[in-house]
Amino acid sequence: METIYLNLDKLAYWQEKAKPNVMALGFFDGVHKGHCEVINTAAKIARDKSLSLAVMSFFPHPKTVISNGKVHYLMPLSEKKEKLRELGVDIFYIVEFNKEFASLPPEQFVAQYLLNLGVIHAVAGFDYTYGFRGAGNMDRLKADSGGLIDITKVEKLEIHGEKVSSTCIRERLLKGRVDEIPTLLGHPYEVECIWDENTLKPTPYYTLPAPGYYEVTLKNQIGSIRTEVIVLETGEGKALKCLTEIPKFMVGSLSIVWHRAIKEKRIFGWSQLLSDISNRKYMLNFVSKK
């Protein structure tokens, strides 16, 4: 898969190199089941037309640019790229989302970022919008292209009456309901971390669950262990602590696979954390001596 970072300075260069393609449009944070429906639909059309499959996403999240809002990302671009590669995407366009890009009229976005990049068929979710203040949508995209781009609008995917979305996945994380996420995401939520034998530090652009105890799997390329971790609220944000000793073979990069919350109580300070860990160690020692 070819990854192309697009901004106004590079746009003309990539327009000249573009070939006819089918493109899936969206932010695709988390690449959940709804996103996969959009991308798989585009992939089938691309196969039927013997064309390349392209995906166009944006970074940073539009909310951070338009309203200076805080966004709880589900994954970094590196993981998103890997997921798209697994789905058979040929070209991944990452558009730099800034105020200049946000101010483009819908017709100009379609001309510069779709038509001039070789798009002959665009696929997106029913609620996809584009252009200044989101004035463009899938019902007008064909007209904005002068009839040159065919359109497929993918209807919303619902599970148990709820629309599958990145927002509902974030909400579950922030409420600690990690056991419900596989139904929406297609697999348990994972967070990549660095462990230096002292600190378990998440890499950027992941969202940690609500403070509390969780049953998890720690894994890397060598092996895995089932264990428990605590998510702790500190003055600098959330921190992680494993309740068991992490094997030496996991030093460096590892992933946390979140299975379920194991206690309802919330923890808000290191003193409570240290007390809990001390009590658990005491109980383990007491049991081992009996």
Task: Give mean pLDDT, residues 151-158.
Answer: 96
Q: Which of 117, 98, 125 is nearest to 7 (CA)?
A: 98
Q: Which of 278, 207, 217, 214 is nearest to 238 (CA)?
A: 207
What pLDDT does residue 235 have? Answer: 83
CB 262 within 8 A of CB 229: no
Domains 2-159 and 181-289 equal at CATH topology level? no
List, for residues 269-290, the tens digit of each pLDDT value: 444 554 554 444 434 443 344 4
What pLDDT does residue 263 have? Answer: 72
CATH number of 181-289: 2.40.30
What pLDDT does residue 70 have? Answer: 82
Domain ranges of the chain: 2-159, 181-289
Cα(78)–Cα(74) distance, integer angstroms: 12
CB 92 within 8 A of CB 65: no
CB 240 within 8 A of CB 232: yes
Judged against a pLDDT cut of 70, whether residue 265 lies above it is answered with: no
Task: Give mean pLDDT, residues 4-26.
Answer: 96
Check the CA dihedral 251-257-259-260 and report its sign. Answer: positive
Domain 2-159: CATH architecture, name and number where available: 3-Layer(aba) Sandwich (3.40)
List, for residues 97-128, the tens digit of each pLDDT value: 999 999 999 999 999 999 999 999 999 999 99
Task: Give mean pLDDT, residues 133-158.
Answer: 96
